[in-house]
């Protein structure tokens, strides 16, 4: 088989076993481009890997589509998205995973995800929080480049329809999935009736599920552009050419989010029922309270609240005033990057937001990614060590467990902890954390060595003995001895009763398929803890068990408890 990727080509594998076949492919391409820059490659070869199936059937938990819908998305969304990244110079749609395996073998340059393993693909290679993390490190986020032909088509449509007026796009969401995120259609219709038609030319881009239903009576004579809904590259070009784009949180927003030349206001950034959640949506993503992304241009705004007419009207008028104040600047293509220099203070602040949002895995992932780019930042390293000591072993193990379950690289964390242990050899926390890392990555021999060190340091201290017993439980589980695993964790809970050990029992019972016992452990947490603790346990379990089979059943039970008080 010929070599498909030269050494200066990044081969990027979008694996439908762990990624949804939706607009998230755009985030994946953005992350691929970040990785291309870091590896100093010249180009990207984009590869789509199907799920465990034949042909273009991509059925799976994340891809609940029939054959026709899957094929449509493959050719009209994923493949078109590749054309928005000007460094993407090649594309392969693999008919089977076996074909993809041959592509992996023939690729001679770097890959994204790094060291891609088709048998164990990294589950986080496509997620939006990663671009937020990079933005919060000061990394410039790549901007999409609508093709010249698509821009020409968009310019022609605008010239023939707008009559010289300023085009305002309104992208509606009316999907049958997750309807809580749908647009407030009545208020958008009210907005199109209110806007000054002599100055502005509002254009509706319908949801693709309703694209054949237009025109709609509630929008009167408002223009609609269904062709842009059905062609991804034309849609991206149209957004770039509009005076201002108005949208709610939905897939197409990614075309605006990653375009430094698009002006937009995004309403209903989170579903209305999530506004009252604690920790807040912003904290869970490491963001400030207003939810502002770290890479917005001055002419892009995130609005957390729902899209009411009054709010749409107010935000529109403020943004239009800002655009008119500096039109030459407003219509330039801006870099997508944090507006100020990044230092350790900012990194620590973002880390603490993740922790406050009970996103321990994201917190450590973020700070380790940053230290990988800035290994000389001793202030951040010192903070991380102090954090583990200050928050105690329970917080540290919860963090490590989250990172391991999320299948994120743990070697940088391990090295940091080993260095800390060597500098303070009597520190119990470091020994247990290193042991837990080794358990998580299957290094049972070294895990036992570190547990023995921790056991010596735990002598006479029930709390420390409980932590060692817990770790031995996970070590036994890794070795396939479920009964002894449960005995160790139950012993830990007897030595030092806590919601953390209770949650571990929920997880381990679910891991061995005993949902009844997992439910009993869960009920015990519900009956013996306060509401705040139950909420924290719920969020942590939801974080570490998302989409993992039997565990998800347990999480649903737990969430039903917490949501009903």
The predicted structure's pLDDT at residue 64: 63
pLDDT of res. 438: 83
Report which of 366, 407, 402 is spatially closest to residue 384, judged by C-alpha positions. 366
Number of CB atoms found within 10 A of residue 142's CB: 23
DSSP structure string for 542-559:
HHHHTT-THHHHHHHHHH
Decide: residue 21, CB within 10 A, 0-12 exposed, 13-18 middle, 19+ buried. Answer: buried
Three-state SS at 73: helix
Cα–Cα nearest to 138, from 338, 296, 293: 338
Residue 359's φ and ψ, nearest 5 degrees, are: -110, 70
- Helix residue ranges, H only, 92-184: 97-106, 128-135, 148-161
Nearest to 153 by CA among 265, 241, 37: 241
* Maximum pairwise Cα distance, the chain: 83
pLDDT at residue 401, rounded to an integer:
58
pLDDT at 453: 92
Q: Which residue has the tokens 């589980």?
A: 477
**The predicted structure's pLDDT at residue 396:** 59
Copy the structure tokens of residue 275.
């506004």
Distance CA 116, CA 19 (A): 14
- The residue assigned the tokens 């102090």 is 386
List the pLDDT tens digit at each of the 565 positions of the chain.
445 557 899 999 999 988 888 899 999 999 999 999 999 999 999 999 988 765 555 555 566 667 777 788 888 999 999 999 999 999 999 988 999 999 999 998 999 998 899 998 887 889 999 999 999 999 999 999 999 999 999 999 999 999 999 999 999 999 887 888 899 999 999 999 999 999 999 999 999 999 999 999 999 999 999 999 999 999 999 999 999 999 999 899 999 999 999 999 999 988 777 888 888 989 989 999 999 999 999 999 999 999 999 999 999 999 999 999 999 999 999 999 999 999 999 999 999 999 888 787 788 889 888 988 898 899 998 888 778 766 655 555 555 655 555 555 667 778 878 888 888 766 787 888 888 778 777 788 898 999 999 999 998 899 889 989 988 888 887 777 778 888 998 999 899 888 878 888 887 887 777 777 877 887 787 777 777 676 666 665 655 444 344 444 444 444 444 333 3
Q: What is the 3-state secondary structure (H, E, C) of 489-503?
A: HHHHHHHCCCHHHHH
pTM of the model: 0.81
Question: If DSSP states are collapsed to H, E and C, what string results for 369-433?
Answer: HHHHHCCCCHHHHHHHHHHHHHHHHHHHHHHHHHHHHCCCCCHHHHHHHHHHHHHCCCCHHHHHH
Alpha-carbon distance 34 to 324, whole Å? 33
CA angle 27, 24, 228 (to 5 degrees): 100
Backbone angles phi, psi at 107, to 5 degrees: -85, 120
Residue with tokens 């796009």: 169
* 187, two tokens: 């208020």
């Amino acid at each position: 088989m010929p070599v498909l990727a030269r050494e200066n080509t990044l081969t990027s594998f979008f694996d439908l076993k762990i990624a949804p076949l939706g607009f998230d492919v755009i985030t994946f391409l953005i992350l691929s481009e970040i990785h291309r820059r870091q590896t100093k490659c010249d180009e990207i070869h984009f590869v789509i890997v199907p799920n465990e199936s034949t042909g273009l059937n991509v059925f799976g938990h994340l891809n609940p589509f029939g054959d026709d819908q899957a094929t449509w998305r493959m050719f009209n969304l994923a493949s078109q998205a590749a054309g928005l990244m000007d460094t993407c110079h090649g594309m392969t749609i693999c008919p089977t995973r076996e074909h993809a395996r041959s592509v992996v073998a023939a690729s001679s340059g770097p890959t994204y995800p790094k060291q891609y393993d088709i048998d164990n693909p990294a589950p986080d290679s496509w997620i939006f929080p990663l671009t937020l993390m990079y933005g919060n490190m000061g990394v410039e986020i790549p901007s999409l480049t609508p093709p010249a032909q698509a821009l020409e088509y968009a310019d022609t449509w605008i010239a023939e329809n707008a009559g010289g007026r300023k085009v305002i796009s309104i992208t509606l969401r009316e999907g049958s999935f997750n309807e809580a995120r749908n647009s407030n259609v009545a208020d958008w219709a009210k907005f199109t009736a209110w806007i000054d038609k002599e100055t502005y030319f509002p254009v509706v881009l319908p949801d693709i599920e309703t694209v054949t239903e237009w025109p709609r009576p509630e929008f009167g004579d408002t223009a609609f552009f269904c062709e842009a809904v059905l062609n991804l590259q034309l849609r991206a070009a149209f957004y770039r050419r509009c005076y201002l784009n108005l949208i709610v949180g939905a897939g197409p927003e990614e075309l605006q989010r990653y375009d430094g030349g698009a002006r937009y206001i995004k309403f209903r950034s989170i579903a209305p029922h999530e506004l009252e959640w604690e920790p807040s949506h912003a904290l869970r993503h490491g963001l400030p309270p207003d939810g502002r992304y770290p890479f917005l241009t001055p002419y892009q705004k995130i609005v957390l609240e729902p899209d009411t007419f009054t709010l749409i009207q107010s935000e529109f008028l403020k943004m239009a005033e800002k655009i008119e104040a500096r039109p030459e600047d407003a219509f330039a293509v801006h870099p997508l990057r944090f507006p100020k220099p990044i230092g350790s203070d900012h990194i620590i602040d973002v880390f603490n937001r993740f922790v406050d949002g009970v996103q321990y895995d994201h917190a450590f992932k973020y700070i380790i990614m940053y230290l990988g780019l800035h290994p000389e930042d001793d202030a951040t390293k010192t903070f991380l060590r102090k954090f583990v000591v200050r928050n105690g072993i329970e917080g540290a193990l919860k963090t490590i467990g989250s990172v391991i379950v999320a299948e994120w690289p743990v070697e940088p964390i391990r090295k940091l902890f080993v260095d800390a242990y060597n500098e303070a050899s009597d520190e119990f926390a470091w020994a247990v954390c290193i042991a837990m890392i080794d358990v998580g990555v299957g290094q049972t021999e070294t895990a036992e060595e570190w547990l023995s060190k921790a056991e010596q340091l735990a002598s006479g201290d029930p709390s420390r003995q409980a932590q060692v017993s817990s770790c031995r439980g996970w070590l036994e589980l890794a070795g396939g001895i479920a009964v002894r695993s449960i005995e160790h964790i139950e012993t830990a809970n007897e030595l030092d009763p806590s919601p953390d050990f209770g949650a571990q029992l929920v997880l381990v019972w679910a891991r061995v398929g005993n949902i009844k016992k997992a439910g009993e452990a869960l009920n015990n947490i519900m009956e013996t803890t306060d509401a705040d603790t139950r909420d924290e346990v719920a969020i942590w379990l939801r974080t570490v068990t998302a989409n993992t089979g039997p565990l998800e059943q347990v999480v649903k039970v737990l969430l039903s408890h917490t949501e009903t008080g």
